[in-house]
Copies of this chain bind each other. A is one copy, B any other.
Amino acid sequence: MKILWVFAHPERRSLGGSLMTEGLRTLESLGHEHRTSDLYGMGWKAVVDADDFGDAPRDRRLLVGPEQERAYRERSLSEDVRREQEKIEWADTLVFQFPLWWFGPPAILKGWFDRVLVQGFGFGLKGPDGRTLRYGDGGLAGKRALVVTSVGARESGFGPRGIHGQLDQVLFPLLHGTFWYTGMAALPPFVVYGADRLTDTGFAHSAAQLRERLRTLPTTSPLPFHDENGGAYDEDLVLRPELAPGLSGVGVHG
C-alpha cells in the first residue's frame, strides 16, 4: 500500500508524535510505502486567500470555488498546494492524525482541507451522464481515509449518549462531509481517550492497538455511508423513507 500520513500537532515530542513514529515503523515493517505531511514541521499555510492563486487579478471579487478550480486546471495553484495534491494522487490510503481541538481538527489541518481539496480535484467532477460525482464517488474515489486522534476526555463521554456527543457523529463533517464527499471510504476512527493522563502502560496499549489497526488497514470495513448516486436519496437529496425509517439526524446516513 501507499500511505500518506498527515500529522497536525505543534509538538513532535508529544504523545501524538510518539504514536506517529510507532505507526510509520509499523507501516515499514508491513512492507508498505509511506510519505508524510508534518503540517507544523512544514510551516503549512492554513488560510485560503488570493495568494493561493498567484495569477488571479486582485481588483475583482474573489470567488473561492471557481478560482480554485481555474487555478487547478491551469496548474497555477501555489506550489505547496500542488505538492500535497500530488501526494494524494500517489497514495491509496490517507491517515490524518491530530489532537481533537474544539471537537474538530486543529486549524492547520482544517486549512489543509480548505486549500488542497479544491473544486475540480477533490470534488465538482461530473460523470459521463452529467451527474455530480460526490459522496462515494469523485476525485478521490477508491482511496481510504483513517482518522487517528487523541482526546483528553474519557471514552464514556463520547459514547452513544455521552455528553461530548457520539464520536463518529461529532466527526461527521470530516468522515462524511470530507472523506466520503470526495469519494474516499471513511474507516472507523482510531481514538486515544484520556490522552492527558496516559501512563506508560496506557501508551503501550494504545500503540499496540494502533499497530493492529494499521495491520488491518486494507481489510477493515469502512463506515457504511450511502452512495449519492446509488438510489438511497431522492431528487431533493433526502434519504428515501424505506432507509432508516422514522429516524432523522446525521446518524441516518450510515
Interface residues of A (CB under 8 A from B): 10-11, 13-14, 40, 46-50, 61-65, 99, 101-108, 110-111, 113-114, 117, 135, 152-154, 156-157, 159-166, 169-170, 172-174, 176-178, 196, 228, 233, 236-239, 244, 247-253
- A64: chain B residues within 8 A (beta carbon): 10-11, 99
- For residue A177, which residue of chain B has the nearest CB? B103
Give the CA-CA distance A162 to B107 in the complex, in Å. 27
A26 to chain B, nearest CB (A): 23
| Cβ 8 A contact of A163, one of B154, B165, B238 | B238
Copies of the polypeptide in the assembly: 2
Could you name 22 residue pairs across A and B whose Cβ atoms are closer than 8 Å? A11-B62, A11-B64, A48-B107, A64-B99, A102-B110, A102-B173, A103-B178, A104-B104, A104-B173, A104-B177, A106-B110, A107-B114, A156-B236, A160-B248, A161-B239, A162-B239, A165-B172, A165-B173, A165-B250, A169-B172, A169-B250, A249-B250
Give the CA-CA distance A22 to B154 in the complex, in Å. 44
- For residue A165, which residue of chain B has the nearest CB? B250
Give the CA-CA distance A230 to B104 in the complex, in Å. 26
- For residue A226, which residue of chain B has the nearest CB? B163
Question: Once the chains bind, are B48 and A106 in contact (CB under 8 Å)?
Answer: yes
Question: Once the chains bind, are A156 and B237 in contact (CB under 8 Å)?
Answer: yes
User: Which 10 pairs, one residue from A and one from B, show the smallest C-beta to C-beta distance?
Assistant: A107-B111, A160-B248, A103-B177, A103-B173, A156-B236, A46-B46, A107-B110, A163-B237, A249-B251, A165-B250
